[in-house]
């Protein structure tokens, strides 16, 4: 079962720089496949402690190797954006995870220069970035996430326990049999002292560190740990501890914290903790509410539940005065910042500037906010605003050779599904770009799109992939069927034990709506989905003949084999239970069970190294359809795992130079061929 892999364009925030390869070329909104290889993104903006400067990550295009670098601009726009970090020749990944040190004199970032990932410190008074030497004994530690303490004296970071000499030797000697489900080198939280230049382990090597947060007084860390290896496949097992930074032996477990705790943040006075944890409703795993409890332990108070919103992201920011917590989340087709008061009043939505904002960041004094301002019809810029709701100043919009505005925008539309539920979607009209599909009798082809998850959603973000689909002269309808997030708990839980059931009907109702209300040609309908969207494509393949062609990316086809072979099964278990206990439910919710009725030409796109929806899933559908005599084509992509391939197809920068291009070529050829066939061309 695909986990909450949301619509790819939600995850990534887009802006770019002029790539050298594109020098002299001016792109239009009539994007072609090669143009998408030159697309760049911005993400992770960080406001300086004094609020005067902003650093963010800009990722180069796929055609230029997809390395990411740090850029900087002044908040008021007076000093224009400039690139701050540069990789050397052999470093293909670049720099990421920027973070200001508390006195604003330097920026820390992660890069892999040489053999290992390291945290680097770039002094803003000038000079090279220098790596911070993080070692356990004489072993180098490879940091994943990190945060400087508020007083600037410590660096907390997560890194795996280094291999022992015996482990290294065994690996070298190929004495390397794997005991599944065990992890001898779990991720731990470590602390580095800037003064002493020493590293100490904070969490033991018997637990897996998942998240941490600094106490504002810099004396302790709140750490969420869980079982090592695949322990969490048997159920949530988080523990929240408060650990003393100076003395790792001093710690206590915070009572009252749910086993589903995912993120944590101290209140400004250090006396309370905000956490995200599984909602108080019967929701799919991962649907979170925000809770607050005393740091000393106690019963958590649910801040989001009463208002039927869910916390989409993992980052929690307390308001400076301690009266509430900010969380980034989604409502219907919009992403925004929500302020949850600790006591009293109702939550308030903070951003009205554009339809989808993300990547919110503020500094300790909350002098201002930075975010990425999304909209379907324009390239998303990094924006600085004094308050989250203000329009703010555009600091940078990369892809300078692309038009900033004037792209095809979506309208939010709705219709009724079973049980009289209102279902929303985003409708994009086809473009009038040259070379697009012919308009016949005033009608154009349409691509129906299903998102992943199923606990996901389409929102009003800029999507180069959708723009490219509309360039072909095709309309696009993105559907948020029941099971999607952002429409309340009941709506999100409405697909329980019914995958491919009423959510499928919601999709078809959307199709009906489009045929009735938009100039859509019923002969030339296509469908595209990835992950759960690919699974939905599988259901559509087996349950209806209305489409001319279907493209399914990294689907689940067979719940029996998926449950046993995917990375983790706890999520799926909520939907239909364990297949050997509930065989009929599992089979009913498997696209394979409808394969005998399949007729529509199906293109399957699959990453060979996918551990979320393993390759076997696509192979099962491929073999079945082939033996049924249905036109089917399976394209597999070496080295690709679940998320990266999806992003590549969507046009986001990826270090795989050609897979996204090739996948889109396949999609284009597939739809064009069958659309033409459908009208006798």
The residue ranges that bind another protein (CB under 8 A) are 72, 82-86, 88-91, 113-114, 122-130
- Nearest-angstrom CA–CA distance, 460 and 340: 23
Helices 642-649 & 659-678, crossing angle to 10 degrees?
Answer: 60
Nearer to another protein, 127 or 435 (CB): 127
Q: Which conformational region is residue 650 in: left (phi greater than 0), alpha (psi within -120 to 50 degrees), or beta?
A: alpha
Output the smallest distance, CB 112 to another protein, in A.
12
Instruction: Report the distance separating Cα 455 and Cα 503, nearest Å.
Output: 12
Q: How far is the CB of 86 from another protein (least distance, A)?
A: 5
**Beta-bridge partner residues of 220:** 244
Tell me the closest approach of the beta carbon of residue 535 to another protein, in angstroms: 42
Q: Which is nearer to another protein, 85 or 161 (CB)?
A: 85
Choice between 50 and 184, CB closer to another protein: 50
* Residues near 342 by beta carbon (within 8 Å), at least 6 away in sequence: 272, 292, 301, 303, 322, 323, 324, 325
Residues 639, 656: contact at Cβ < 8 Å? yes
Q: Nearest distance from residue 63's CB to another protein, in Å?
A: 18
Smallest CA-to-CA distance from 426 within 379, 387, 455, 469 is with: 469
Tokens of residue 588, six digits: 């009913």
| Cβ-based nearer residue to another protein, 91 or 512 | 91
If the CB atoms of residues 115 and 419 are measured against another protein, the closer one turns out to be: 115
* Coil, helix or strand at residue 526: strand
- Output 79 or 440, the one with its CB closest to another protein: 79
Closer of 192 and 318 to another protein (Cβ): 192
For another protein, give the closer residue by CB, 106 or 624: 106
Q: Do 517 and 437 form a contact (C-beta atoms < 8 A)? A: no
Minimum distance, C-beta of residue 656 to another protein, in the bound complex (Å): 19
Min CB(70)–another protein separation in Å: 9
Quote the least distance from Cβ 85 to another protein, whole Å: 5
Q: Minimal distance in Å, beta carbon 126 to another protein? A: 5
What totals of helices (H) and strands (E) does the chain contain, helices first? 13, 38
Q: Which residues contact 200 (CB under 8 A, 6 or more apart)?
A: 190, 191, 193, 248
DSSP per-residue letters across 170-221: HHHHT-----TT--SS-EEEEEEETTTTEEEE-S-TTSEEEEEEE-TTSSEE
Nearer to another protein, 18 or 32 (CB): 18
Least separation in angstroms between residue 129's CB and another protein is 6
User: Among all chains, which residue has been given the structure tokens 């208002």?
Assistant: 307
Nearer to another protein, 123 or 403 (CB): 123
What angle is formed at CA 336 by the lines to CA 333 and CA 339, rounded to 5 degrees?
A: 135
CB of 349 to another protein, least distance (A): 37
Distance spanning both ends of the chain, measured CA to CA:
38
- Residue matched to tokens 């084509």: 633
**Residue (2 or 98) nearer to another protein, CB:** 98
For the four alpha carbons of 636, 638, 641 and 644, in that order, the dihedral sign comes to: negative
User: Are 371 and 326 a contacting pair, CB within 8 Å?
Assistant: no
β 316-318/324-331 pair status: antiparallel
**Which tokens in the block code for residue 229?**
């290896």
Instruction: Name which of 52 and 239 has its Cβ closer to another protein.
Output: 52
CB of 111 to another protein, least distance (A): 10
Q: What is the DSSP string of 426-441?
A: EEEPPP--TTPPPPBT
Least separation, in Å, of the C-beta of 124 and another protein? 4
């Amino acid at each position: 079962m695909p986990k909450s892999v949301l619509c790819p364009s939600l995850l990534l925030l887009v802006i770019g720089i002029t790539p050298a390869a594109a020098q002299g070329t001016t792109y239009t909104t009539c994007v072609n496949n090669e143009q998408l290889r030159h697309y760049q993104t911005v993400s992770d903006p960080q406001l300086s402690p004094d609020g005067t400067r902003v650093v963010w990550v800009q990722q180069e295009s796929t055609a230029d190797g997809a390395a990411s670098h740090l850029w900087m601009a002044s908040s008021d726009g007076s000093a224009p954006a400039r690139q701050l970090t540069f990789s050397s020749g052999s470093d293909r990944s670049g720099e990421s995870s920027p973070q200001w040190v508390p006195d604003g004199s330097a920026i820390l970032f992660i890069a892999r220069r040489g053999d290992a990932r390291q945290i680097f410190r770039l002094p803003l008074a000038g000079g090279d970035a220098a790596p911070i030497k993080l070692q356990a004994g004489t072993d180098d530690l490879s940091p994943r996430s990190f945060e400087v303490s508020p007083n600037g004296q410590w660096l907390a970071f997560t890194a795996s326990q280094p291999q022992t000499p015996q482990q290294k030797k065994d690996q070298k000697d190929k004495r390397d049999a794997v005991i599944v489900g065990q992890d001898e080198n779990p991720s731990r939280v470590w602390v580095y002292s800037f003064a002493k230049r020493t590293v100490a382990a904070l969490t033991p090597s018997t637990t897996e560190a998942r998240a941490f947060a600094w106490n504002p007084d810099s004396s302790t860390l709140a750490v969420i740990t869980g079982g090592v290896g695949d322990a969490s496949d048997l159920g949530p097992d988080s523990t929240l501890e408060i650990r003393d930074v100076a003395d790792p032996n001093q710690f206590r477990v915070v009572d009252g914290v749910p086993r589903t705790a995912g993120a944590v943040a101290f209140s400004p006075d250090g006396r309370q903790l905000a956490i995200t944890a599984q909602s108080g409703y019967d929701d799919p795993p991962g649907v979170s509410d925000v809770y607050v409890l005393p740091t000393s332990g106690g019963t958590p108070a649910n801040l989001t539940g009463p208002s039927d919103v869910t916390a989409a992201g993992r980052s929690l920011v307390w308001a400076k005065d301690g009266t509430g917590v900010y969380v980034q989340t989604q409502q219907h087709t919009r992403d925004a910042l929500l302020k949850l008061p600790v006591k009293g009043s109702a939550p308030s939505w903070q951003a009205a500037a554009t339809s989808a904002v993300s990547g919110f960041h503020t500094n300790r004094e909350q002098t201002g906010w930075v975010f990425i301002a999304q909209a379907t019809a324009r390239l998303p810029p990094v924006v600085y605003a004094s308050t989250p709701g203000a329009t703010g100043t555009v600091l940078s919009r990369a892809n300078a050779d692309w038009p900033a505005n004037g792209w095809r925008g979506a309208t939010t539309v709705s219709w009724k599904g079973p049980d009289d539920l209102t279902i929303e979607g985003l409708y994009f009209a086809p473009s009038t770009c040259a070379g697009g599909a012919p308009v016949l009798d005033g009608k154009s082809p349409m691509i129906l799109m299903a998102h992943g998850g199923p606990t996901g959603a389409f929102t009003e973000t800029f999507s180069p992939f959708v723009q490219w689909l509309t360039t072909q002269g095709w309309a696009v309808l993105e559907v948020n069927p029941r099971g999607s997030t952002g429409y309340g708990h009941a709506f999100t839980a409405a697909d329980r034990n019914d995958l491919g059931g009423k959510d499928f009907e919601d999709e078809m109702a959307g199709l009906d709506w489009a045929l009735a209300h938009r100039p859509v040609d019923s002969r030339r309908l296509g469908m595209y989905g990835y992950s759960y969207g690919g699974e939905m494509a599988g259901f559509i393949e087996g349950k209806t003949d209305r489409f001319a062609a279907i493209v399914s990316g990294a689907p689940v086809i067979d719940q029996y084999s998926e449950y046993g072979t995917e990375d983790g099964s706890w999520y799926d278990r909520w939907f239909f239970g364990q297949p050997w206990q509930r065989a009929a439910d599992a089979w009913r919710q498997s696209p394979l069970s409808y394969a005998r009725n399949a007729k529509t030409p199906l293109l399957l796109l699959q990453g060979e190294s996918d551990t979320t929806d393993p390759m076997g899933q696509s192979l099962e559908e491929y073999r079945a359809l082939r033996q049924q005599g249905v036109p089917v084509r399976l394209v597999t992509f070496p080295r690709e795992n679940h998320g990266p391939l999806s992003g590549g197809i969507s046009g986001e920068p990826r270090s795989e130079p050609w897979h996204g291009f090739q996948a889109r070529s396949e999609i284009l050829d597939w739809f064009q061929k069958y659309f033409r066939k459908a009208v006798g061309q």
